[in-house]
């Protein structure tokens, strides 16, 4: 998306390497049965999906000038000829056109030299997210390699926010997100929802591919917008090869495709470079969702489900205020580790009751909910002092019950004039409709 968020190699915590290579780790993930830990409270320190990296303070790697990268070319001990062979192997099994060139080699070598620990952590996080991405990519008949684009976009950080306001794993801007039915309101931002944003990204990428009939250009358009790609094609004299129009694209997009291909290469040949993920205690295959039947707060859930708050937030980043709203017209889901779903189901009634008690406490606070039996309709020329005197209450009470900060009134609005739910008000004194 615009102002892409590829910051993942700059500030990430050090990791230990596991004994198995990345491909073995993926294979084990797909074939091993899901087990339920004896201790239902997962150790959040072992979970790669919980990321507290200060990404807002990072600088964008792709604004590094190519000249500054040349010095890295020969500092790693693997052959350019071997790299050419490996890239050719990828090209034969991919719908993308993967060809060796000096720019791509520079990116690969820089990543391998300076970002090894970050790559290891990203491989760990991919064990959680990639099965989800592959499911939707397959559903929309898109190349599965596109899963690596989310690494370039957000470093697999579900709550990532770019300087320009793009959000989530797939870095949707507000207007583009709304175009693809990603809801944004006071409680929910679906751009942070892993499932909904992934499906939206698939729809958008499908549209871009139909527009350009070329995956390189489709990805470039995903980053900078289709208009910039069309302009670059025009400025190049009608060429449609990304590498030929690259110099006419925005600066960040000039690094976008090399970054994507470098990431793709490194993940696919991680074992050749002794890069491995660490074992994570949670994968995407070990989570489940529950559609809520009423409004819920994270605090109500935490009272009855043995889950760390950091994990609950990481699994449900779309709920901005730690509250899951309820709507008859749109379903909202709670995501939990599989082994904790039974705790929610078992205590479901108590969880909802806890939330209802919190709502009742709020309703019993100073602001009182208006109804026909406890209210007065403001007439032309009336003010707060007049209304308070009319109903034998103080001006302070009137303002408190209605949550008023000013004395400004609008004709026709209702004001609470009693703190009782069913008040026997003098029919001659109360205006009701």
Name the band, by pLDDT with cuts 50, 70 and 90, for residue 168: very high
**Residue 359 sits in the same domain as residue 371:** no
151: pLDDT strictly greater than 50: yes
Residue 263 sits in the same domain as residue 291 = no
The confidence score (pLDDT) of residue 12 equals 32
User: In which domain, by residue range, is 426 found?
Assistant: 366-433
| Domain end marker among 348, 363, 378 | 363
Statement to judge: residues 269 and 332 lie in one domain: no
Residue-level pLDDT at 262: 95
In this prediction the pTM is: 0.73
Same domain, 49 and 182: yes
| Tokens linked to 165 | 């306001």
Residues linked to residue 375 through DSSP beta bridges, in sequence order: 416
**Does residue 3 sit within a domain?**
no
**111 within a domain of the structure (yes/no):** yes
Residue 35 lies in a domain: yes
Q: Please, which pLDDT band fits residue 200 given cuts at 50, 70 and 90? A: very high
Same domain, 354 and 431: no
Domain boundary among 273, 298, 321: 273
Residue 79 has which token pair?
Answer: 């052959």
Are residues 219 and 253 located together in one domain of the fold? yes
User: Whole-angstrom distance between the N-terminal and C-terminal Cα of the chain?
Assistant: 52
Longest dimension (CA), the chain: 95
Structural domain contains residue 42: yes
Residues 346, 416, single domain; the answer is: no
Query: Long-range contacts for 99-107 (Cβ within 8 Å, ≥24 apart)?
Result: 101/243, 103/66, 103/258, 104/258, 104/261, 104/262, 105/73, 105/80, 106/66, 106/69, 106/70, 106/72, 106/73, 106/258, 107/69, 107/255, 107/258, 107/259, 107/261, 107/262
Residue 1 lies in a domain: no
Q: Is 187 exposed, middle or buried (0-12, 13-18, 19+ CB in 10 A)?
A: middle
- Residue range 350-364: mean pLDDT, rounded: 69
In a domain, 124, yes or no: yes
Residue 13 in any domain: the answer is no
Same domain, 302 and 243: no
| Shared domain check, 163 and 102 | yes
Of all helices (H) and strands (E), which one includes residue 264? helix 251-268
Together in a domain, 117 and 266: yes
pLDDT one-digit tens code per residue, 358-382: 655 555 555 677 888 889 999 988 9
Q: How many domains does the chain have?
A: 3
CATH classification of the domain holding 117 = 1.10.530.10
User: Does residue 160 lie in a domain region?
Assistant: yes
Whether residue 389 is found in the same domain as residue 245: no
pLDDT at 409: 85
**Which of 324, 339, 363 is where one domain is finished?**
363
What CATH code is carried by the domain that includes residue 405? 3.10.350.10
Q: Are residues 214 and 344 in the same domain?
A: no
């Amino acid at each position: 998306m615009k102002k892409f968020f590829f910051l993942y190699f700059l500030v990430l915590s050090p990791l230990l390497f596991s004994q198995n290579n990345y491909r073995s780790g993926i294979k084990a993930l797909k074939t091993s049965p899901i087990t339920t830990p004896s201790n239902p409270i997962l150790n959040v320190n072992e979970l790669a999906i919980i990321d507290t990296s200060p990404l807002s303070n990072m600088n964008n790697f792709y604004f590094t000038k190519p000249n500054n990268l040349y010095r890295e070319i020969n500092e790693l001990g693997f052959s350019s000829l071997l790299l050419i062979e490996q890239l050719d192997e990828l090209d034969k099994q991919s719908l993308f056109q993967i060809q060796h060139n000096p720019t791509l080699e520079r990116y690969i070598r820089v990543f391998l030299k300076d970002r090894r620990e970050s790559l290891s952590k990203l491989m760990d996080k991919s064990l959680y997210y990639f099965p989800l991405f592959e499911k939707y990519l397959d559903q929309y008949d898109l190349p599965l390699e596109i899963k690596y684009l989310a690494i370039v976009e957000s470093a697999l950080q579900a709550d990532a926010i770019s300087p320009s306001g793009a959000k989530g794993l797939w870095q949707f801007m507000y207007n583009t997100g709304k175009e693809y039915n990603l809801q944004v309101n006071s409680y929910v931002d679906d751009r942070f929802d892993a499932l909904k944003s992934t499906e939206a990204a698939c729809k958008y990428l499908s549209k871009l591919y139909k527009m350009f009939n070329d995956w390189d250009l489709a990805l470039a358009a995903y980053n900078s917008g289709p208009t910039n790609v069309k302009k670059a094609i025009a400025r190049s004299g009608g060429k449609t090869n990304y590498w030929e129009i690259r110099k006419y694209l925005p600066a960040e997009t000039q690094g976008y495709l090399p970054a994507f291909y470098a990431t793709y290469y490194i993940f696919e040949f991680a074992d050749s470079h002794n890069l491995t993920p660490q074992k994570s205690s949670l994968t995407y295959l070990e989570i489940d969702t529950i559609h809520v039947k009423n409004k819920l707060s994270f605090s109500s859930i935490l009272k009855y489900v043995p889950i760390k708050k950091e994990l609950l937030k990481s699994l449900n980043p779309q709920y901005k205020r730690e509250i899951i709203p309820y709507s008859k017209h749109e379903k909202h889901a709670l995501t939990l580790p599989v082994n904790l779903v039974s705790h929610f189901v078992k205590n479901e009634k108590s969880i909802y009751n806890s939330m209802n008690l919190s709502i009742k406490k709020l309703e019993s606070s100073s602001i009182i909910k208006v109804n026909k039996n406890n209210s007065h309709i403001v007439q032309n020329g009336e003010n707060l002092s007049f209304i308070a005197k009319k109903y034998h209450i103080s001006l302070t009470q009137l303002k408190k019950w209605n949550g008023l900060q000013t004395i400004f009134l609008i004709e026709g609005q209702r004001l609470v004039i009693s703190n009782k739910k069913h008040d026997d008000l003098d029919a001659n004194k109360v205006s009701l409709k």
